[in-house]
Amino acid sequence: MVASVKSVSVTEHGGYGNRRYSPPTRLAGQSLFWHRQVFVDLFLPFSSFVQDGAQLLDHAQFAQALALSLCSGLAATLLALGASACILSTGLGLRAPRKHAALLPAMLALPHVAFALGCVLLLAPSGWLVRLWFALVQPWAAVMPWPLDAPPPWQSTQDPWALGLVLVLVCKEMPFLLWGALAHMQRPDVAQAWAAQMRVAATLGYSAQAAWWRVVWPQLLPRMAGPLLAVWAYSLSVVDVAWIIGPGAPPTLAVLAWQWLQDADAAVRAQGLAAVVLLLLCTVLVAGLAWMLYRMDVRWLAPVRWTRGPQRLEHAKGAKGGAFSATIGRCLLLALPALYALVAAALLWGSVAGAWPFPALWPQAWTLQAWQQVLGSTSVLGTTLWLGLASAGTALVLAVACLESLPAPWRAALFSAAYLPLALPSLLWAIGLQRVCIALGWDASAWGLWLAHSLSVWPYVLLSLQGPYAALDPRGAQLAASLGRSHGAYLWQVQWPLLRAALAAAFAVGFAVSVAQFLPTLFVGGGRFATVTTEAVALSSGGQRSLLAAFALLQWLLPACLFALALWLGRKRRFAQPFFARGLA
């Protein structure tokens, strides 16, 4: 006897009915299910962490590698936060929200690997900036402590102190933090409330900068906990950027764990897995300690509690400090886009440079041979394009399904949970994705690679839609329902056309994130699928400078084209004026 089971669902009124779940609800459930499966597989390595941890502690490079990871990660996170706060104190997001914020998509489109490779071309001992400096000091060559016909004897990239790694991480994470801050500051309700509070502070005699630090920043900092956690986790566990510009002897713990995980010996792979788990524990412990220090009434933190600080934090001192931070912010606001433009220029002329002996400022010849090789790699370009478009499209559909099917209180919890994949070490996330694909039988297949990229892209797409969906007026759906129109008609004819720019920008963000994926492509693809990013990282340890620069520049051009298309699709529409109203204008 076979029992037939009817599908039972919860109706809008809270009871059970005979209506099936809507397609957006089913899509949202599938997305959350696959992310839950990844997180379940992530905690499997903890079972062997205790016995493999002792072997990890005995390794000769472990202590120094862990110290490099912690110091570089903390320095990059704190410097990026301080620099972003100084930039925001200039009025970005409140008084001038569109003046410089339009440059953020272009900076976010540049992947970390391409930016790191461009910095290597600029800052290396034989890089262009060193060549320019040698050309400027050529008249004083006789008094220089080293000859000017050879690169200087210092390490400006892959230095043992990880200064180059910190510089790259700070410059790349600043646009991400600014993007996360502007997502809150440009919400209509928040912007109006903070602007009113700034006007009240101005009537009390505070300058604009002092009022921002005392009124806006204490309210903005707790809202940036998610982006800060993502920046800290990425800076601590980054592999590709640390491999390109980080220290090499010893490397950071993430690079060391990546090398161990690729070893043929099972004991060495277990040691690498223990190192990855240790990175996760460091991420959680440092983040928890920072949150406790923020919440606790610590006495030595009193001078920086702007709204409730002690009386010795006088008004004049606060005004001077605000003016100084605003000056730093304006300098950074000009220097950051200039640095990105310089990196792009270095990649451009590096990709077409021929023979370039040191210390010549410009190459002896220009050639397009590297671009011919890049454009001839049709399999690499095809894999990058279809994977980026498919994963970005899938992530966009899943994100919209989650936002449309979940009620407003659940959306806030969903946005908070979206930061969890970003807060994990990248190696641990890639291992979890690999375990899921192995369980499905999709390991080293196109389906597995699509699933891994879609799950990695989904949090970024969802967070990109957080601000636009929060700014929607819920009365529009009520008005459409009162006119007898269905909810689907309201979505197709009103809401989604209004969100056309946000949806296009979210798709471009997803494509850029997919293009930049290195570890998921390497672990899930099993080395059978080559993308622009994997080729650029593989070429970073070789001597083909022009081919390396061409792949790195292409890694930026592909997302930049999608961002330009999104900007064109999201442009404001201009309607022609009716002929009977032209005479009244």
The string of DSSP letters for 386-425 reads HHHHHHHHHHHHHHHHHHHHS-HHHHHHHHHHHHHHHTS-
Compute the average pLDDT of residues 193-222. Answer: 87
CA atoms of 182 and 526, how far apart (whole Å): 38
CA atoms of 180 and 224, how far apart (whole Å): 7
What's residue 477's pLDDT? 81
Tell me the CB-side half-sphere exposure of residue 210, using CA atoms within 13 A.
17
Q: Could you give phi then psi for residue 90, rounded to 5 degrees? A: -75, -5
Lowest mean per-residue pLDDT among 51-55, 191-195, 378-382, 568-572: 51-55
Collapsed DSSP state (helix, strand, coil) of residue 366: strand
pLDDT at 146 over 80: no
Most confident of 8-12, 166-170, 295-299, 354-358: 166-170
Mean per-residue pLDDT over the chain, rounded? 81
Residue ranges of the alpha helices (H) in 43-162?
Answer: 49-57, 62-88, 104-109, 112-123, 128-136
CATH T-level fold of 59-137+154-365: MetI-like fold (1.10.3720)
Compute the average pLDDT of residues 266-271. Answer: 85
The total of other beta-carbon atoms located within 10 Å of residue 366's CB is 11
pTM: 0.84
Contacts 24+ apart (CB under 8 A), 323-326: 323/207, 323/209, 325/85, 325/86, 325/89, 325/209, 325/213, 326/86, 326/89, 326/90, 326/208, 326/209
Strands 9-10 and 16-17: antiparallel
Most confident of 77-81, 213-217, 534-538: 77-81
Compute the average pLDDT of residues 110-136. Answer: 88
Measuring CA to CA, which residue among 170, 218, 172, 213 is closest to residue 74? Answer: 170
List the structure tokens of 97: 């929200």
Compute the average pLDDT of residues 558-584. Answer: 70
pLDDT at 284 over 70: yes
CA atoms of 521 and 452, how far apart (whole Å): 8
More confident residue, 407 or 314: 407
pLDDT band, very low/low/confident/very high, at 393 (cuts 50, 70, 90): very high
What's residue 234's pLDDT? 94
pLDDT at 226 over 70: yes
What's residue 38's pLDDT? 54
Label residue 420 exposed, middle or buried (CB < 10 Å: 0-12, 13-18, 19+): middle
pLDDT band, very low/low/confident/very high, at 483 (cuts 50, 70, 90): confident
Collapsed DSSP state (helix, strand, coil) of residue 111: coil
Helical pair 225-237 and 426-440, crossing angle rounded to 10 deg = 80
Tell me: the pLDDT tens digits for 63-82? 999 999 999 999 999 999 99
Measuring CA to CA, which residue among 362, 352, 414, 303 is closest to residue 29? Answer: 414
The radius of gyration of the chain from alpha carbons, rounded to an integer in Å, stands at 26
Most distant CA atoms of the chain, gap in Å: 99
DSSP summary character for residue 491:
I
Report residue 32 CA to chain centroid gap: 21
What's residue 493's pLDDT? 84
Tell me: the pLDDT tens digits for 359-382? 888 888 888 999 999 988 899 999
Compute the average pLDDT of residues 353-363. Answer: 84
Contacts 24+ apart (CB under 8 A), 471-476: 471/187, 471/188, 472/498, 472/499
Compute the average pLDDT of residues 31-57. Answer: 57
Q: Could you give phi then psi for residue 17, rounded to 5 degrees? A: -140, 180
pLDDT band, very low/low/confident/very high, at 515 (cuts 50, 70, 90): very high
What's residue 380's pLDDT? 93
Collapsed DSSP state (helix, strand, coil) of residue 353: strand
Superfamily of domain 19-44+368-571: MetI-like (1.10.3720.10)
Q: Could you give phi then psi for residue 95, rounded to 5 degrees? A: -85, -30
What's residue 308's pLDDT? 43
What's residue 391's pLDDT? 95
pLDDT band, very low/low/confident/very high, at 144 (cuts 50, 70, 90): low
More confident residue, 156 or 347: 347
553, 515 Cβ separation under 8 angstroms: no
CA atoms of 225 and 1, how far apart (whole Å): 56
Measuring CA to CA, which residue among 32, 116, 80 is closest to residue 227? Answer: 80
pLDDT band, very low/low/confident/very high, at 51 (cuts 50, 70, 90): low
pLDDT band, very low/low/confident/very high, at 236 (cuts 50, 70, 90): very high
pLDDT at 172 over 90: yes
| Length of the chain as a residue count | 585
SS (H, E, C) 168-227: HHHHHHHHHHHHHHHHHHCCHHHHHHHHHHHHHHHHCCCCHHHHHHHHHHHHHHHHCHHH
Tell me the CB-side half-sphere exposure of residue 176, using CA atoms within 13 A.
28
> For the chain, which residues make up each domain, given as ranges?
19-44+368-571, 59-137+154-365
CA atoms of 340 and 345, how far apart (whole Å): 9
pLDDT band, very low/low/confident/very high, at 170 (cuts 50, 70, 90): very high
Tell me if 19-44+368-571 shares its fold with 59-137+154-365: yes
pLDDT at 386 over 80: yes
Residue 566 CB contacts under 8 Å (≥ 6 apart), including other chains: 105, 501, 504, 505, 507, 508
CA atoms of 124 and 109, how far apart (whole Å): 24
∠ CA 363-366-370, nearest 5°, is 110
